[in-house]
Homo-oligomer: A and B are copies of this chain.
């Protein structure tokens, strides 16, 4: 007796409808679990870009020796730009430095007391990976052109400690959520099949093979998972549009919060796959006990 897709599909659809209470329980469990995972993922994406933008603020400033000629500076700047770790190098001339100081200390008497321009020119380096700052500093510290390097190792390390912990927290919680969702869905499916265990036994006794029984349950599990995932995604989408995008466009304009369209589609795809796979696998595993007859 061969695999008959249409018969199994029909069976599963009919059964989905007839066991409405059970089907709905499965669907809502999948939907809620995936909604939790999904919304926390959105949250995690947002947090992550926030963390990243904070880390990006870490800069290395090179104060240049007073006597270094313009060409050397340009050469140094070009060389630095070619380094892998480095994203950008900004030249700040002596005049620009003085202007900044004046602006920073505007209204205070300190500015009035400065004679001439005691400030050095500098190169402000932005890093691709801020964690590599110490590296860059070590490689540069003996260069003759450079008078001094400003880079507060201690503060940077503190900052990274904090962001590392935040990342860990988020990763652990995403893992926990994923794991819990899996168990919750598996649980609901197990209960659903438990409620129908008598049917399974009867089918076996009437001569149905294991796969003949399994297929409709499997397809039903997939259906539950799929519908649940769709519901979760719809709710997430609504949340994204009404909440996150609004926040992004108003108060948080200046923050690179949130996720790209592509990331959102990846999330959606991931959720659907998760729903379908867990639904199918859950059904098959839960059935096993009752197919022993």
Contact = CB atoms under 8 A, between A and B. Distances in A.
B118 A115 contact: no
Interface stretch (A70-78, A179-187, A213-221): A179-187
Assembly stoichiometry (copies) = 2
Interface residues of A, number: 56
Interface stretch (A82-90, A130-138, A249-257, A268-276): A249-257
Interface stretch (A6-14, A32-40, A201-209): A32-40
B25 A187 contact: yes
A85 to B, nearest CB: 24
A148 interface: yes
Interface string A13-36: 000000001100100110011011
Contacts of A188: 25, 29, 187-188, 191
B176 A36 contact: yes
Contacts of A177: 36
Q: Which 10 A-B pairs have the closest CB atoms?
A: A113-B118, A195-B195, A191-B191, A32-B180, A161-B251, A110-B118, A109-B118, A25-B191, A107-B148, A25-B187
Interface of A: 21-22, 25, 28-29, 32-33, 35-36, 39-40, 43, 46, 50, 63, 101, 107-110, 112-116, 118-120, 148, 158, 161-162, 164-165, 169, 172-173, 176-177, 180, 183-184, 187-188, 190-192, 194-195, 243, 247, 251-252, 254-255, 257
30 contacts: A21-B190, A21-B191, A22-B191, A22-B194, A25-B187, A25-B188, A28-B187, A29-B184, A32-B183, A35-B180, A36-B36, A36-B177, A36-B180, A40-B173, A43-B169, A46-B169, A50-B162, A63-B108, A107-B148, A108-B118, A108-B120, A108-B148, A110-B114, A110-B119, A161-B251, A165-B247, A165-B251, A188-B191, A191-B192, A195-B195
